[in-house]
């Protein structure tokens, strides 16, 4: 057992130089590299100031027996059910994408010494979370865009984007909210946002449409099943700067997060006909809906391949439509009678309105 006073010296003189040099750690045995992580975990109270470095340079054993460093481009490591995770991404097995999972060896090989109880496993899971190794997708509380007239400041390891007033939202994904927010947000504010680039990558089209549809079906089922525990990721908070700096951090308003908006920006909803569409264009009509007759004429969720159950996720977050509106019926009837597509129809109506003025 290593004496605590010596642990930091061993880390400074041996562990850190090894982790930061791939030519050195790649020559170490599996047991040594596993021991590096467990040593830091066991004495983490002495390494909290090193967290920024550990998030980059820690070397982790994966389920396929390989070792990867956390800053390896394109690699995101996830937890498995062995770590007590009930929302593990293991159910999302797909030919389109291979998730990288942490090896179960950390738990299985050290269960007697370190992980005898569920509480001890949960404590280890919380430690891994500090290294951005979690069961869910990698969600960042940050803003990925830069603005010349705004500034970023850091507090408690979170990046905040400071807006002087609501008009500065014009070049952001929240521009559509300006008329509403103009009436209520009257001070400089920040937006504490959630974004998920991993999700964006998963739903980006590939050259294999069948694999795309397969993964999107599994993603939808997963997000629907665990919506109650994941819904916080879909909300961004507007917080006045003076409140944040005083430590209160009380949101004055919540708005859709970047993650939530991305659910509607991609064509990833499986519709009848083996296609994918953006959620704003997709219907999910109840069998007893008075407009069920129009189902064959609109893009409809392919319920032969999946069944969604959470109404908040389906209609509020995804934005699927549960009724065919009269205006849509009119568009359908005009297409039947005059073979006019929607764009042509509205161009003609707008021209007629201009002539009437």
Given a cut of 50, whether residue 141 has pLDDT beyond it is yes
Confidence of residue 151 (pLDDT cuts 50, 70, 90): very low
Q: 52-68, pLDDT tens digit by residue?
A: 888 999 999 999 999 99
Other C-beta atoms lying within 10 Å of the C-beta of residue 5: 8
The predicted model gives 71-95 an average pLDDT of: 91
Name the least confident of 60-74, 143-157, 308-322, 324-338.
Answer: 143-157
Structure tokens at 51: 């967290």
Q: What share of the chain in percent tops pLDDT 90?
A: 47
The predicted model gives 124-136 an average pLDDT of: 93
Confidence of residue 265 (pLDDT cuts 50, 70, 90): very high
CA distance 65 to 231: 34
pTM: 0.81
Rounded to 5°, the CA angle 145-142-229 comes to 135
8 Å CB contact between 82 and 59 = no
Which has more pLDDT, 265 or 142?
Answer: 265
Residue 127 pLDDT: 93
Given a cut of 70, whether residue 286 has pLDDT beyond it is yes
Which run of H or of E encompasses 271? strand 267-271
Residue 154 pLDDT: 42
Confidence of residue 148 (pLDDT cuts 50, 70, 90): very low
Given a cut of 90, whether residue 339 has pLDDT beyond it is no
Which has more pLDDT, 306 or 164?
Answer: 306
Task: Compute the CA torsion angle 93, 236, 131, 70 (nearest 10 deg).
Answer: 60
Confidence of residue 150 (pLDDT cuts 50, 70, 90): very low
Q: What share of the chain in percent tops pLDDT 70?
A: 82
What is the radius of gyration, based on Cα positions, of the chain?
25
Specify the DSSP class assigned to residue 298. S
Residue 205 pLDDT: 94
8 Å CB contact between 252 and 185 = yes
Given a cut of 70, whether residue 70 has pLDDT beyond it is yes
Residue 203 pLDDT: 95
CA distance 70 to 40: 15
Which has more pLDDT, 208 or 353?
Answer: 208
Name the least confident of 28-37, 41-50, 241-250.
Answer: 241-250
Residue 308 pLDDT: 93
Task: Compute the CA torsion angle 48, 54, 56, 58 (nearest 10 deg).
Answer: -160
Average pLDDT over the chain, rounded to an integer: 84
Given a cut of 90, whether residue 181 has pLDDT beyond it is yes
Residue 231 pLDDT: 93
Residue 6 pLDDT: 78
Q: What are the distances in angstroms from CA 206 to CA 202, 211, 212?
A: 10, 8, 7
Given a cut of 70, whether residue 145 has pLDDT beyond it is no
Confidence of residue 202 (pLDDT cuts 50, 70, 90): very high
Residue 209 pLDDT: 93
Q: 205-262, pLDDT tens digit by residue?
A: 999 999 999 999 999 999 999 999 999 999 999 988 887 767 777 889 999 999 999 9
């Amino acid at each position: 057992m290593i004496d605590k006073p010596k642990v930091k010296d061993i880390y400074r003189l041996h562990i850190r130089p090894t982790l930061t040099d791939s030519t050195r750690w790649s020559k170490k045995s599996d047991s040594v590299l596993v021991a590096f992580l467990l040593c830091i975990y066991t004495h983490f109270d002495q390494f909290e100031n090193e967290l920024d470095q550990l998030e980059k340079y820690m070397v982790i054993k994966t389920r396929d027996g390989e070792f990867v460093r956390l800053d390896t481009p394109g690699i995101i490591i996830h937890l498995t059910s062995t770590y007590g995770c009930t929302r593990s991404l293991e159910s999302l097995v797909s030919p389109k994408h291979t998730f990288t999972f942490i090896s179960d060896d950390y738990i299985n090989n050290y269960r007697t010494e370190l992980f005898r109880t569920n509480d001890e496993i949960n404590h280890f899971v919380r430690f891994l979370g500090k290294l951005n190794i979690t069961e869910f997708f990698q969600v960042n509380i940050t803003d990925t865009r830069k603005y010349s007239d705004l500034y970023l400041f850091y507090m408690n390891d979170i990046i905040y984007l400071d807006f002087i007033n609501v008009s500065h939202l014009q070049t952001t994904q929240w521009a559509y909210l300006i008329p509403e927010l103009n009436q209520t947000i009257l001070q400089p504010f920040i937006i504490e946002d959630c974004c998920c680039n991993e999700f964006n990558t998963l739903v980006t089209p590939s050259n294999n449409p069948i694999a795309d549809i397969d993964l999107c079906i599994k993603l939808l089922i997963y997000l629907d099943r665990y919506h109650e525990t994941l819904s916080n990721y879909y909300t961004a908070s507007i917080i006045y700067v003076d409140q944040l700096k005083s430590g209160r951090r009380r949101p004055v308003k919540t708005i859709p997060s970047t993650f939530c908006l991305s659910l509607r920006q991609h064509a990833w909803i499986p519709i009848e006909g083996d296609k994918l569409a953006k959620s704003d264009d997709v219907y999910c009509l109840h069998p007893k809906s008075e407009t069920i007759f129009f189902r064959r004429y609109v893009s409809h969720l392919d319920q032969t391949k999946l069944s969604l159950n959470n109404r908040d996720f389906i209609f509020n977050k995804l934005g699927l439509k549960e009724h065919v509106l009269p205006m849509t019926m009119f568009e359908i009837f005009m297409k039947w009678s005059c073979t006019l597509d929607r764009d042509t129809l509205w161009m003609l109506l707008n021209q007629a309105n201009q002539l009437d003025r």
